[in-house]
Structure 1
Amino acid sequence: MTKEGPVKTAHTVFNVIEAILELEGARFTELVDHLGMAQSTLHDHLKTLESMGMLVRDGNEYRVGIRFLEYGEQTRQQRQLYEVGRPQVKELAEETGEHASLMIEENGDGVLLCIEKGDVAVNLGAYAGIRVPLTSNAPGKAILAHLNEERIDEIIVEHGLPQLTSKSITDRSELDNELMNIRERGYAIDSGELVEGVKAISAPIVSRGEIQGAVTIGGPVKRMSGERFDKILPDLLLKASNIIELNISHR
Structure 2
Amino acid sequence: MADRQNSNAVKTARTTFEILEELKERNEATVTELTDAFDLSKSSLHNYLTTLEADGYVVKNGNTYEVGLRLLDLGGHARHRQRLYDIAREEVTELAEETGELANLLVEQHGRGVYLHRAHGVDAVKTDSYIGQRVYLHNTGLGNAILAHLPRERIEEILDRHGMPATTENTITDREELFSHLERVREEGVAFDDEARVKGLRCVAVPIVNNNDTVEGAISVSGPTSRFQDERFREELPAKLKSVANVIELNITYT
Moved more, 88-97 or 226-235: 226-235
Query: Which 10-residue stretch deviates more, 228-237 or 39-48?
Result: 39-48
State whether residues 202 and 215 of structure 1, in contact with CA within 8 Å, keep that contact through their aligned partners in structure 2: yes
User: Residue 136 of structure 1 aligns to a residue in which SS?
Assistant: coil
Unaligned ranges ≥5, structure 1 = none
Per-residue CA deviation, residues 140-175 of structure 1 (Å, 9 max, x unaligned), is 000000001110111111112211100000111111
Q: CA-to-partner distance for each residue in 1:1-56, whole Å, 9 max, x for gaps?
A: x9981110011101211222222222222222332411222122112111211112
TM-score by length of 2: 0.94
Partner of 2:188: 185
Query: What pairs up with 1:239-250 in 2 under 5 angstroms?
Result: 239-250=243-254
> Match of 1:107?
110
1:232 equivalent in structure 2: 236
1:213 maps to what in 2? 217
Offset at residue 240 of structure 1 (A): 0.8
Q: Residue 165 in 1 paired to residue 168 in 2?
A: yes
Mapping of residues 92-171 of structure 1, within 5 Å: 92-171=95-174
Question: Are the aligned partners of 1:19 and 1:35 in contact in 2 as well (CA < 8 Å)?
Answer: no
CA RMSD after TM alignment: 1.5
Amino acid at match of 1:222: S
Aligned residues of 1:82 and 1:114 also touching (Cα < 8 A):
yes
In terms of mean alpha carbon deviation, does 135-144 or 35-44 score higher? 35-44
Q: Deviation string for 1:110-138 (max 9, x for gaps)?
A: 11111111111111121011111100011
Aligned to 2:85, which of 66, 69, 82?
Answer: 82
Residue of structure 2 in register with 1:52 after alignment: 55
**Which of residues 176, 179, 182 is equivalent to 2:179?**
176
Aligned partners of 1:199 and 1:224 also within 8 Å: yes
Instruction: State how far apart, in whole Å, the 1-side matches of 2:151 and 2:88 are.
Output: 24
Of the candidates 24, 30, 49, which is equivalent to residue 33 of structure 2? 30
SS of the residue 1:15 aligns to: helix
Residues 1:91 and 1:83: Cα distance change in structure 2 (over 3 Å): same
2:155 aligns to what SS in structure 1?
helix
Give the aligned residue type for 2:140.
N
Structure 1 distance, partners of 2:71, 2:64, is: 18
- Alignment of 1:18 with 2:30, yes or no, is no
Cα distance in 2, alignment partners of residues 80 and 3 from structure 1:
35
**Mean alpha-carbon deviation: is it higher for 17-26 or for 2-11?**
2-11
Query: C-alpha distance in 1, partners of 2:116/2:71?
Result: 15
Whole-angstrom distance in 2 between the partners of 1:140 and 1:247 = 22
Distance (Å, rounded) in 1 between the aligned partners of 2:122 and 2:82: 28
Q: What's the secondary structure of 2:167's corresponding residue?
A: coil
Deviation at 1:197, TM superposition (A): 1.3
**Paired residue type of 1:59:** G
Residue 64 (1) aligns with residue 67 (2): yes
TM-score normalised to structure 1 length: 0.95
SS of 1:127's partner is coil
Match of 1:204 in 2: 207
Quick one: percent identity of the two aligned structures? 43
State the shift of 1:59 in Å: 2.6
Displacement, 1:200?
Answer: 0.7
Is residue 73 of structure 1 aligned with residue 82 of structure 2? no
